[in-house]
Amino acid sequence: MAIQIALGTTTVDFPLLSLSHSPFSALFLLHCAALFLPVPMAPSASCGGGRGRSPLLGCLLVVVSLLCLRAMVCRAQEPGQLQPLEVATYNYTSFQEGNSKEQRELAFSREARIYKGAIQVSPDTANVGSYQDIMVNKSGSVLLQRRFTMWSHVDVDGGGGGNGSATSRVQVVSFNSTFSINVFHLPDSSPRPGEGLTFVVAPSRDEPPPGSYGGYLGLTNATLESSPAARARNRFVAVEFDTTKQDYDPSDNHVGLNVGSVVSVKTANLTAFRIATNSSSPKNYTAWVEYDGEARHVSVYIGVRGEPKPASPVLDSPLDLSEHVPEQAYVGFTASTGTDFELNCILDWTLSIEVIPEKKSTTWVVIVAVVVPVTVVAVGVAAFFLARKLRARRSMERRQERLEQQLSNLPGMPRGFAYDKLKKATRNFDERLRLGKGGYGMVYKGVLPADEARPEAMDVAVKRFIRDDGKDVTDFLQEVDIINRLRHKNIVPLIGWCYKKGQLLLVYEFMPNGSLDQHLFRRGVHEQRWPVLSWARRYAIVGDVAAGLHYVHHEYTRMVLHRDVKASNVLLDASFRARLGDFGLARVLDDDREAFTDLHVAGTRGFIAPEYSVGHKASRETDVFAFGALVLEVVTGQLALRAGDTRCPLLSDWVWQMHGRGALLGAVDQSLDADEFDHDEAGRLLLLALACSSPNPGDRPTMPQVLQVLSKAAPPPEVPPFKPQFVWPPEGGAQFQLSDIEVTTSGTGGTSTGGDGVLTRATQSMSTSYDSFQPQTAPNSSDGYFPALSSGR
């Protein structure tokens, strides 16, 4: 495109590089018109007066305008090029306590601080006697307060020769991070260093996830590493400096690139570069992490502090941050210690990072008139959904009123919590605080702040029901009605409840040591590792569970059948005292009844008494059978279903075989040496468990008899060397009437009719145990369940 301008008798063409597509075109044309429109001028002695403008002045103004406009257009329309970005620089030559700049610019987690001129990402202390209390199993983080835009979609000109075509590209920032570290450990206090330090691009400034100590480096925990799908949701990238060798690590002295997981996608052994971050000598190192956003590539250099940057990186790898971190993220450090510990110190830090400016819309919004038929349809659709929403709201309000009325009629009505308060306590039900998932919903850890009723903050477990229907309200009331009545030191206490906008929540006391099965059946790298339970604790746990079960069977005013006694429903408080939890399948019996009969079976395979499986009749004896299976798991350290032995899949059958061969104590957990357990107590528990596991309910002891055996006030029961045969019907016959059968919600499954017309219904536990049971998966483990309040369905 060109504009012709007449200067006197000469016509000049000015090319404008597709000026018609420039936003400045109209402004330029108006300016030219203003320059050359004839306007009156004062008479001049030199030119004799007249009308017009000075041609020379007009020409100069036009040329200057053309040059400026051409430069702007060329710069804006350079084909395929991204605009250069400004660079923000943060420089910390040292760190001093009380420095207002550092306190203002850095966000410290609870365990991190500035101490002795350095950032202690994990705790440090000068008190030698406090090492074990302060430095073991900790994690921390230090991040810049500022949130950076790490990548953004940018529209650039496609170079279409002036046709105005544009393409969208992802612009990723580049950054250089240089920092000096000290990961020194004291050989006298910790024989090995542990665990490591990372430079991280993190999605938030939140505290490190619970349980992120040890090999999780303050980045993740067992839940967030539990599966490929869970790891895919972890939106972080980190460069780790690891000093402890895990199963997935190449050595205890390496650098690794972590993308959403502590299992590195690429590693480099530092020993080959004559660098020893795991040394007991206090040598400091400087690391350079350089990321090229245009090339999508990261390079890591490391050398002794004070020496020049090495010529070659110890690790380099392609890396597209836009695929692994959110658009806006935070930059900083995380670290952790385990049973072995070290100093995780940042001595100095310099960060230079490109800054993507905030997007500003320059597009005019064009409002298109809507024709009458479209308007009518839109109004009709809106009216339909509005009416539907109002009906749902009225139904929800009626349900809430009915629920509050029913709860108010409960004896000792539990405390009602505001939904917003529980939402804040769980950080809006943050997935990183999710402790487990069961048949009725999910359970999250929360922290209730201090208030008038409670002078100190309190850790709680919030059970969130996931279904929103009338049946869910019935299940909710069932659990509240039962657990709220029970007052015993070996029963998990209910703190309160909440119901708002269809959200049903129960608040329980938090059990910091998780569930019993986590300690009995320790997992691999992606599970939290617990030490082996001592014999004294095992015996005490069995006694606690027996006391709780005796309470609900005999001491409470009405008989309560738990119907789901198993290791994942036994919870351990701070002092490892056991408490019986999850009464979602429990039933309260009237005084004139001794059993509860349902149309389906509730529970978990391996813990279900044979007469209950056949006759669907739950009683005290069926709970005692499940208690016996639990005791066998505690003593042997094996699952009630032995997946590795197809000839003897039930643990009770195997122990009975050991008893028949006269080698009963050979069934004791192999992780306990012969001198680490009381042989008399072990024999007592095994004989008691076998008696409780008898196929015939009449041969099982009652809970009062169980307590006498456990307290050693009575000898252990006499058990035949061979397992008796199951007899059906039991002694006295199967005496129940049709009126005894109740169609209740003891599980989470729906009711369905099979192809043969037979009504079938199964709880989630039964579905897991029978329909989809896989030998590789423990049916009564708490994998995926809340560690301090397993759901059990």
Binding positions for ATP = 463
Place of tokens 């005084």: 591
Using alpha carbons, list the distances in angstroms from residue 689 to 42, 554, 664: 119, 20, 12
With contact defined as beta carbons under 8 Å apart, do 5 and 29 qualify?
A: no
Question: Phi/psi zone of residue 70: left (φ > 0), alpha (ψ -120 to 50 degrees), beta?
Answer: alpha
| Integer Cα distance of 611 and 623 in angstroms | 12
Q: String of b and e for 98-128 (b: at least 16 CB within 10 Å)?
A: eeeebeeebbbbebbbbbeebbbbbbbeeee
- Contacts of residue 426, defined as CB under 8 A and 6 or more positions apart, other chains included, come to 433, 444, 445, 446, 462
- Contacts of residue 342, defined as CB under 8 A and 6 or more positions apart, other chains included, come to 183, 184, 185, 190, 193, 194, 195, 243
Which of 340, 472, 564, 582 is catalytic? The answer is: 564
Q: Count CA atoms closer than 13 A to 65's CA, side-chain side.
A: 21
Closest among 61, 46, 70 to 7, alpha carbons compared:
61
Closest among 265, 276, 269, 263 to 216, alpha carbons compared:
263
> Identity (one letter) of the amino acid at 775?
P
| Integer Cα distance of 612 and 626 in angstroms | 11
> Identity (one letter) of the amino acid at 324?
H
Closest among 611, 592, 601, 610 to 563, alpha carbons compared:
601
Which spans in 694-734 are helix H? 703-710
- Contacts of residue 755, defined as CB under 8 A and 6 or more positions apart, other chains included, come to none
CA angle 330–336–340, rounded 5-degree value: 170
564 belongs to the catalytic site? yes
Instruction: Identify any residues that bridge with 153 across adjacent strands, giving them in sequence order.
Output: 170
Instruction: Identify any residues that bridge with 92 across adjacent strands, giving them in sequence order.
Output: 349
Computed on alpha carbons and rounded to an integer, the radius of gyration of the chain in Å comes to 36
CA angle 459–567–652, rounded 5-degree value: 175
- Contacts of residue 446, defined as CB under 8 A and 6 or more positions apart, other chains included, come to 422, 425, 426, 433, 459, 460, 461, 462, 507
With contact defined as beta carbons under 8 Å apart, do 321 and 149 qualify?
A: no
Active site residues: 564
